[in-house]
Structure 1
Amino acid sequence: MAKQFASVGDMAEKKISFTEIGRDLWAFTAEGDPNTGVIIGDESVMVIDAQATLRLAGKVIEKVRTVTDKPINYVMLTHYHAVRVLGASAYGAQQTIMSEKARAMVAERGQEDWDSEFGRFPRLFQGHESIPGLTWPTLTFNDRLTLYLGKRRVDLEFLGRAHTAGDIVAFVPDANVMFTGDIVEYHSACYCGDGHFADWPRTLEAIRSFDLDAIAPGRGDALVGAEKVNAALDNTADFVSSTYRPVARVAQGGGSLKEAWDAARAACDPKFASYAIYEHCLPFNVARAYDEALGIDMPRIWTAERDRQMWAELQG
């Protein structure tokens, strides 16, 4: 019987934490599962990344209601991935916000991504039967959008390609705090299957230039204090470069995807094997790094069938 993806058998419940990372700013985290951010303004609330299903979004809403009864008027989605966006309708928000590029990616590959992610990581889709369909934004922008939650200012910005081509961040100037989505991870593997390895380090440096007091990353614990912020930025950059370099050497030397996988494992296992979702991410990371090293700029669309073909090649 063929070996399955590591994530298929990952069915253990994760402990949820709800951490205040600045005044009225919260990070919903769950031991390496997708994080959600919460910004409480004078009059309303913004949620950053929605979770994959309405049931999982309900867990976020329960936590929000322990700290405020203000309406959740905004849902901001850092990128298009199914585990981030499909629970958006649970919040009843007035506006659902993405970058224009992320919206284009929903149109181009949203259904394929949903089917692929559901097959890879079923635990993250608890209550999937309640999902009403693809999540479409009501508001998009290209480089920058400023919103006010009463007097509280929130800057939404595209700082460069990284985890996807359309990643955006939310910066709260009065607290000097940023919600980065999966551009930054903390002791969790980066999923690079739709990433841009050459651009990612520059985008991390753009985040570093804010000299932040706290970050809510895409996965892993909330990062409070400059020391933790900079350590996470360094660690994420190291993960990305440690994955790409050995794969690029193999690909550009004419080697196979399986040889690239072996080279990536030799470089990354000693440093990152203990990280959350490492085994889940690695095959997709290697496949994308191999493509980018050979000049494929835009990540190819993952489908359930492509997942299986790639995995069979790596196992062979």
Structure 2
Amino acid sequence: MSTKTFASAADLEVKKVSFDKLSEHAYAYTAEGDPNTGIIIGDDAVMVIDTQATPVMAQDVIRRIREVTDKPIKYVTLSHYHAVRVLGASAYQPEHIIASQDTYDLIVERGEFDKASEIGRFPRLFQNVESVPEGLTWPTITFTGKMTLWLGKLEVQILQLGRGHTKGDTVVWLPQEKILFSGDLVEFDATPYAGDAYFKDWPQTLDAIAALQPEKLVPGRGAALQTPEQVQAGLAGTREFISDVYASVQAGAAAGQDLRKVYEETFAKLQPKYGHWVIFNHCMPFDVTRAYDEATQFPDPRIWTAERDVAMWQALEG
């Protein structure tokens, strides 16, 4: 029996990196829809938000930071627990790794499963995976709700505004400059991955982001949003996708359709509007499976293992 491999396994095209200055204190490291990294340069130290997937990949971030500052990289903040966001952390040799307590709990519960699953799904995103040290990336500081760091006179708020992409989602907010680093709660021209999501909560969490009135926003994937209009477009696009997936899946589940039927109908419905977004074909089976779970009998996301990934992919795409 032949296994139809993940859509991402065929994704081999190297992406062009951009390093954009958003203010005196904020930079965005983006790569045409690959996972982004945010950089905050305070008076006395640097914070990195999301690490890249491996220490070798993180070296490119460090190289660019060193082109603009020689201040020490003291803090790494994790927007959530996914391997592609956290496994590069060791390269920065930070004094502290900051995460929400919910993210810490998810690392304990499913970090190892997630690591194996993600590396199997998306090999290109884990360049030089052998450079990842043994074990997982463990936070040294956790918080619930809100934490404020002062990098000299620069106020950095680390906030949990609600569940969405995961239950641990964390954003970083510079209130003096109205710049937000959203992690995967917001994407731009890139398909939200929702395999570990809370579909019912995600729109309200986006409302909480909008209420801060950010003037610039670094999404989890896609170009940095550098005007209030671009920020609104990023928030609206993410909200519409999440709402469209869930509405379609909920209707199918309510009509008693099985997962495969719901998947085929939802894919066909959404493809004309979102099919041009990065990783659409890869994300849709995971997104619809999670939405179907949430609409039926699993309020919390089930753990993805490498085995479950393959079984799901064969069931929906095989």
TM-score normalised by length of structure 1 = 0.99
Per the TM alignment, residue 23 of structure 1 is displaced from its structure 2 partner at its CA by 2.3
1:93-112 correspondence to structure 2 within 5 Å? 93-112=94-113
Spell out, residue by residue over 1:120-150, the C-alpha distance to the aligned partner (whole angstroms, 9 max, x if none): 0001111111211200000000100000111
Amino acid paired to 1:190? P
Per the TM alignment, residue 22 of structure 1 is displaced from its structure 2 partner at its CA by 2.2
Count of residue pairs the alignment pairs up: 316
The corresponding residue for 2:18 is 17
Aligned counterparts of 1:7 and 1:100: Cα–Cα separation in 2: 31
1:56-67 correspondence to structure 2 within 5 Å? 56-67=57-68
The corresponding residue for 2:88 is 87
Aligned counterparts of 1:295 and 1:147: Cα–Cα separation in 2: 40
Spell out, residue by residue over 1:38-89, the C-alpha distance to the aligned partner (whole angstroms, 9 max, x if none): 0000000000000110011111111111111110000000000000001101
Query: Is it true that 1:234 corresponds to 2:218 in the alignment?
Result: no
Query: Is it true that 1:200 corresponds to 2:202 in the alignment?
Result: yes
Amino acid paired to 2:290? R
Per the TM alignment, residue 296 of structure 1 is displaced from its structure 2 partner at its CA by 1.1
Per the TM alignment, residue 315 of structure 1 is displaced from its structure 2 partner at its CA by 2.8
The corresponding residue for 1:273 is 275
The corresponding residue for 2:178 is 176
Aligned counterparts of 2:167 and 2:256: Cα–Cα separation in 1: 27
Aligned counterparts of 1:191 and 1:254: Cα–Cα separation in 2: 25
3-state DSSP of counterpart to 1:165: coil
Aligned counterparts of 2:244 and 2:20: Cα–Cα separation in 1: 30
The corresponding residue for 2:222 is 220
Per the TM alignment, residue 2 of structure 1 is displaced from its structure 2 partner at its CA by 2.7
Aligned counterparts of 1:211 and 1:100: Cα–Cα separation in 2: 26
Query: Is it true that 1:113 corresponds to 2:77 in the alignment?
Result: no
Query: Is it true that 1:286 corresponds to 2:298 in the alignment?
Result: no
Per the TM alignment, residue 280 of structure 1 is displaced from its structure 2 partner at its CA by 1.0
Aligned counterparts of 1:269 and 1:248: Cα–Cα separation in 2: 18
Aligned counterparts of 2:254 and 2:132: Cα–Cα separation in 1: 42
3-state DSSP of counterpart to 1:65: helix
Aligned counterparts of 2:214 and 2:315: Cα–Cα separation in 1: 42
3-state DSSP of counterpart to 1:59: helix
Spell out, residue by residue over 1:213-272, the C-alpha distance to the aligned partner (whole angstroms, 9 max, x if none): 100000000001110000110000001011111111112222111111112112210111
The corresponding residue for 2:45 is 44
The corresponding residue for 2:132 is 131
1:23–1:175: 8 Å Cα contact kept in structure 2? no
The corresponding residue for 1:211 is 213
For structure 1, list consecutive stretches of 5 or more residues without a partner in the other structure. none
Which residue, out of 305, 310, 315, partners 1:308?
A: 310
Aligned counterparts of 1:176 and 1:311: Cα–Cα separation in 2: 41
Aligned counterparts of 1:116 and 1:65: Cα–Cα separation in 2: 33
Amino acid paired to 2:64? K
Amino acid paired to 2:241? F
1:36–1:49: 8 Å Cα contact kept in structure 2? yes
Aligned counterparts of 2:25 and 2:173: Cα–Cα separation in 1: 14
3-state DSSP of counterpart to 2:147: strand
Q: Percent identity?
A: 51
For structure 2, list consecutive stretches of 5 or more residues without a partner in the other structure. none
The corresponding residue for 2:123 is 122
Aligned counterparts of 1:58 and 1:283: Cα–Cα separation in 2: 33
The corresponding residue for 1:76 is 77
Aligned counterparts of 2:14 and 2:317: Cα–Cα separation in 1: 28
The corresponding residue for 1:155 is 157
The corresponding residue for 1:299 is 301
Query: Is it true that 1:250 corresponds to 2:261 in the alignment?
Result: no
Aligned counterparts of 1:295 and 1:98: Cα–Cα separation in 2: 29
Aligned counterparts of 1:267 and 1:315: Cα–Cα separation in 2: 16
1:181–1:216: 8 Å Cα contact kept in structure 2? yes
RMSD: 0.8
